[in-house]
């Protein structure tokens, strides 16, 4: 075997420029070859990312394209019941995410989608359009117990499984000034039912019966069951 070590008395020979280019190109190609994601998360919610990280599950985001109208998927049908609504919307989100995955030509892997809705009786409380609607929602939830339904689905082009977390949240009676102060923080906007249980709204919650992580937006127990079924969690 030829000894390629250099010594002080024998300086190393310069590597030809064309060889340097070939080596650099090879390294660039190997770095750009990305391993398939074990799981795609089709959600912009930082809370869902946080819960997956708590579970120790690696994931990549699979967010909508600029021309996708993701909000349109969340429009309820007339007379639709809250449980049927949250299941249907989660299924639509999964359909859209799987189509997005195929369209982008990404490596195949299971996709996780979720949707959360707040319900008082049969009435569905989605995300408030503005501060006025947020104040109205909170006034209606004040001093009452409502449901928080979160559906989660994991699927591929060949298989999909889903589960629903159903929790109860009871607010203390809120004064107009308390509602106005909370809405002024901006926290209610973009949240189903106009509040975030992990934020300042928690000071007004008298009782929770169910899944705290489900109220946040991704039920840890149900999610873990689905991920185990797909071999993504022990």
Tens digit of each residue's pLDDT (9 = 90 or more) over 79-132: 999 999 999 999 999 999 999 999 999 999 999 999 999 999 999 999 999 999
pLDDT tens sequence across 203-230: 999 999 999 999 999 999 999 999 999 9
Count of domains observed in the chain: 1
Average pLDDT over the chain reads 87
> Do 86 and 150 form a contact (C-beta atoms < 8 A)?
yes
At 164, is the pLDDT very low, low, confident or very high (cuts 50, 70, 90)?
very high
- Going by pLDDT thresholds of 50, 70 and 90, the confidence category of residue 70 is confident
User: What is the Cα–Cα distance from 88 to 90, expressed in whole angstroms?
Assistant: 5
User: pLDDT-based confidence at 15, cuts 50/70/90?
Assistant: very low
User: Could you tell me the residue range of the domain that residue 159 belongs to?
Assistant: 36-229
> Is position 115 within any domain?
yes
| Domain-embedded: residue 194 | yes
Q: Examine residue 150 and state whether it is found in any structural domain, yes or no.
A: yes
Contacts 24+ apart (CB under 8 A), 135-139: 135/179, 135/180, 135/183, 135/194, 137/188, 137/193, 137/194, 138/174, 138/179, 138/182, 138/183, 138/188, 138/194, 138/195, 139/174, 139/176, 139/179
pTM of the model: 0.82
| DSSP element (H, E) containing 229 | helix 220-229
- Residue 179 in domain: yes
Identify the CATH number of the domain in which residue 157 sits: 3.90.950.10
Q: What is the DSSP string of 34-59?
A: PPPPS-EE----HHHHHHHHHHT---
Given a cut of 60, whether residue 3 has pLDDT beyond it is no
- Give the active site residues: 115
In a domain, 11, yes or no: no
> Domain for residue 95, yes or no?
yes
Please indicate, yes or no, if residue 49 is contained in any of the structural domains: yes
Joined tokens for residue 230: 């797909």
């Amino acid at each position: 075997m030829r000894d390629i070590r250099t010594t002080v008395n024998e300086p190393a020979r310069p590597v030809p420029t064309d060889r340097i280019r070939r080596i650099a190109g090879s390294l660039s190609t190997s770095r750009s070859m990305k391993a398939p994601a074990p799981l795609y998360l089709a959600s912009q919610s930082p809370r869902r990312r946080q819960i997956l990280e708590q579970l120790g599950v690696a994931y990549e985001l699979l967010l909508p394209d600029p021309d996708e109208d993701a909000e349109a998927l969340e429009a309820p049908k007339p007379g639709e019941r809250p449980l049927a609504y949250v299941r249907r919307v989660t299924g639509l989100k999964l359909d859209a995410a799987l189509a997005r995955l195929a369209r982008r030509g990404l490596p195949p892997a299971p996709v996780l989608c979720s949707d959360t809705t707040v319900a008082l009786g049969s009435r569905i409380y989605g995300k408030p359009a503005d501060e006025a609607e947020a104040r109205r929602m909170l006034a209606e939830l004040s001093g009452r117990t409502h449901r928080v339904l979160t559906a989660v689905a994991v699927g591929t082009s060949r298989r999909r499984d889903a589960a629903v977390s159903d929790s109860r949240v009871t607010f203390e009676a809120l004064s107009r000034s308390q509602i106005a102060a909370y809405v002024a923080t901006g926290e209610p906007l973009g949240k189903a039912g106009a509040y975030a249980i992990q934020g300042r709204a928690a000071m007004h919650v008298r009782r929770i019966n169910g899944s705290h992580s489900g109220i946040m937006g991704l039920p840890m127990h149900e999610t873990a069951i689905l991920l185990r079924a797909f071999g993504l969690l022990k």
